[in-house]
Amino acid sequence: MATKEDMLARIRRALGRAEGNAPEPLPAYVDACSPARDGDLVELFCKQSRALGAQVARVRSADEIKEYIAGLAAEGEQTKLALSDGELTRWSGLGEYFSAQGIDVLHTLGEYAEGRGHAGDLMESYKRELVKVNIGVTSADYAIAETGTLVLVSGGEQHRLFSLVPPVHVCLLEETRIIESLPVFLALAGQKYYSTESAPLATTFITGPSRTADIELSLTLGVHGPRELHTLLIGSR
Amino acid sequence: MEHEIETGRFVENYRRALGDAQLQRALSAATTRFMMGRGLAIAAMGDEWERLRERARAIKEHSINNLDYYLDQFATNVERAGGRVFWARDAEEANRYVAELARERGASLAVKSKSMVTEEIELNSALERAGVEAVETDLGEYIIQLAGERPSHIIAPAIHKTRFDVADLFAEKLKVERTEEIVEMTAIARRVLRERFARAGLGVTGANFAVAETGSIVLVENEGNIRMTTTLPRAHVALVGIEKVIPRIEDLGVLMKVLPRSASGQHMSAYVSIITGVKQSPSGEGPEELHVVMLDNGRMRMLANEHLREALYCIRCGACLNVCPVYQKIGGHAYGWIYPGPIGSIVTPQLIGNEMAADLPFASSLCGACREACPVKINIPDMLLRLRHEINEGASDAGPARDKAPGSFRKRVKRMAERAVFKVWASAMKGRRRYEKAAGLARLAGEVFGNGAQGVRVPGWSVTRDFPAPARRSFREMWVEIQQPRNRKQHNGD
């Protein structure tokens, strides 16, 4: 078994260099042109999302969000909803609304664990519930106009399972959170999330529904992740 | 299933590929589609594309030149975030670590995402030997695994299979009703693999990038299987080549602009995950354990060779495969190991030894399309020439000791003959008189051995190339006539 020191020493020998101080970082890279620079970010985000097979709807109130999701729920026979614990999902009041209608609502693992203690098979029983869910609802922390990408940062809410396992993913997004490009987001994230001691466990970039072209290059949606992605754009609250 | 390294049977393999009509159709469709997608995506970038390539190259160059520093930083930050780092000198050490981990955690099933490194070290067969079932979850890889084959393309592993092949395979192996509908077959795979994701105790991935400043693993995909693999099982192990480290999160801004565009023509892949450490509470999402295996397995040799070092800049997009006139005709399997195409012809000899892969650097027309397509501007043709030189000069002692490739004696004789011919050629080109004398001899030989318009038959050489007989009169002679028609006599008498 090799140790780190071992490995690093061999690398130094291979490179012919002495143990060194921090290298001079590359100068910052500035995007020379970005289609998002002068345009309307919201327009561009909608256009790019739709081009990839995602649906985008602009909503003005919590009621409109409820209405939209109720519409989706009406399409299926037995709806089971998964609701993340983000600030936007709580504000929208979806949990109370759908529970009152007798629709089965699964909450995040964190909320599910409360009262059940931290039993070893917590995840096992949770997984059994999770696979029955048809619609997962989360919110996005940011979005990238240039590519129609949603950015979900863990910490604020548990987004990983609900945006992945159910066949339909509904994502709430405030218009003001749309920024022009990935480099602009990463510069921001470097400051806001990754310069702290506790970096987010997972930052997930979602661009359209899950896709594959592995059989005869034929594009097929929903291979492992959601077949449908609905972004609900919230203008103002 | 253990796969033999077949690089020594390159000639036999590519001939079979050329005669396979189904493969030819599939290759043509796939490479054309990928090239067009890439072309459109790049055209939309305008002048920015060249700047991005320059920058992407600069990032990789900087990372490799300071590899010890960034690896140290990466490892420290992985551990700070609650992960463990294991340094593996070779395939065996890496495999043993993962197998041991599965055993200790009582995992009898591991789910895997597509990863070149795990193919390289044959992790699946190592796990099988340890009694752990390893299931590939990328749809293409899953198909290949069911068929007991090897991927034929870096990003589209099953392009050589038709929907009918897959229909037969699923019906036979999964005991499902046969369907030729791609949507239905995809749904079957989703259903079968969901059960595996839910049951697996270990998730195995590679990494597209490893970020030094944060200790993050970056994973890029379209299907969602990597996200499943890194969210559902209790433990996640990432196998990472030491060349994957980049300094900063911000570097992804450039690398994630060039990678999907080069690979498939997408502006962005469906899912990109930046994973940092493990959950801090039992009710958090994701695995309880993160293990990062940093793999050498011959990379140190590439690092030490300053002429071939830049092959480590490769971000595995597959663009050089799609544009390569050789790959387009022979496909990935012919190359005999897991890294196909132009970049594979450099990486493979470096990892398994020149002796084992002596044919690969010659499997190129040196047209330079690969260098033009490479998002990090790797000078592939130059390195192929370098390797050809090393192989001809027998300077391959740096490689690992392996059995000599089959037929290597004949190959060596052929190489010696070629070298002798080129020596004569070189000497003839050194002076005007010598050249003219040699040209005269060649003309004479052409008249004696040639066959009119069909040219001369030179064993070995003219099987796949034309060798036209020299013209009756040389250009030099004609030039003299045109320039100085009146002095013709004088010159002819020279």
Asked if the Cβ–Cβ distance from B47 to A161 is below 8 Å, we say no
Contact A205, A147 (CB under 8 A): no
Q: What is the ipTM of this complex?
A: 0.96
> Which residue has tokens 């592995």?
A214
Residue type at position B217: I
Chain A partners of B85 at a C-beta cutoff of 8 Å?
4
∠ CA B441-B444-B449, nearest 5°, is 120
A69 Ramachandran zone, left/alpha/beta (phi>0; psi -120 to 50): alpha
- pLDDT tens digit sequence for B293-347: 999 999 999 999 999 999 999 999 999 999 999 999 999 999 999 999 999 999 9
Asked if the Cβ–Cβ distance from A48 to B267 is below 8 Å, we say yes
Pairing status of strand A178-179 against strand A142-144: parallel
What b/e string do you get for B229-267 counting C-beta neighbours within 10 Å, with b at 16 or more?
bbbbbbbbbbbbbbbbbbbbbbbbbbbbbbbbbbbbbbb
Q: What is the pLDDT of residue B402?
A: 43
The distance of B222 to chain A (nearest Cα, Å) reads: 5
Q: Which residue of A has its CA nearest to B73?
A: A22
Dist. CA B340–CA B318, nearest whole Å: 9
Q: What is the pLDDT of residue A38?
A: 66
Average pLDDT, chain B: 91
Dist. CA B251–CA B271, nearest whole Å: 18
Among the partner-chain residues B55, B198, B249, the one whose CB lies closest to the CB of A190 is B249
Chain B partners of A122 at a C-beta cutoff of 8 Å?
282-283
Question: Best mutation site among A224, A227, A229 for testing chain B: the one with the most B CBs within 10 Å?
Answer: A224
- Whether A59 shows a pLDDT value over 50: the answer reads yes
Q: What is the pLDDT of residue A118?
A: 59
Q: Which residue(s) pair with B239 in the sheet?
A: B293
Question: Best mutation site among B45, B205, B267 for testing chain A: the one with the most A CBs within 10 Å?
Answer: B267
Q: What is the pLDDT of residue A138?
A: 98
Three-state SS across A127-192?
HHHHCCCCEEEEECCEEECCCCEEEEEECCECCCCCCCCCCEEEEEEEHHHEECCHHHHHHHHHHH
Three-state SS across chain A?
CECHHHHHHHHHHHHCCCCCCCCCCCCCCCCCCCCCCCCCHHHHHHHHHHHCCCEEEEECCHHHHHHHHHHHHHHCCCCEEEECCCHHHHHHCHHHHHHHCCCEEECCHHHHHCCCCCCCCHHHHHHHHHCCCCEEEEECCEEECCCCEEEEEECCECCCCCCCCCCEEEEEEEHHHEECCHHHHHHHHHHHCCCCCCCCCEEEEECCCCEECCCCCCCEECCCCCCEEEEEEECCC
Q: Which residue of A has its CA nearest to B255?
A: A183
Give me B437's structure tokens.
Answer: 């004398």
Asked if the Cβ–Cβ distance from A194 to B249 is below 8 Å, we say yes
Q: Which residue has the higher pLDDT, A121 or A216?
A: A216
Average pLDDT, chain A: 92
Dist. CA B331–CA B65, nearest whole Å: 33
> Which residue has tokens 């890194």?
B230
- pLDDT tens digit sequence for B29-88: 999 999 999 999 999 999 999 999 999 999 999 999 999 999 999 999 999 999 999 999
Asked if the Cβ–Cβ distance from B250 to A183 is below 8 Å, we say yes
Is A51 part of the contact surface with chain B (CB cutoff 8 Å)?
no
Among the partner-chain residues A146, A164, A216, the one whose CB lies closest to the CB of B231 is A164
- pLDDT tens digit sequence for B352-366: 999 999 999 999 999
Give me B390's structure tokens.
Answer: 């090393």
The distance of B300 to chain A (nearest Cα, Å) reads: 7
Q: What is the pLDDT of residue B455?
A: 72
User: B220 to each of A73, B116, B403, how far by Cα in Å?
Assistant: 31, 13, 37
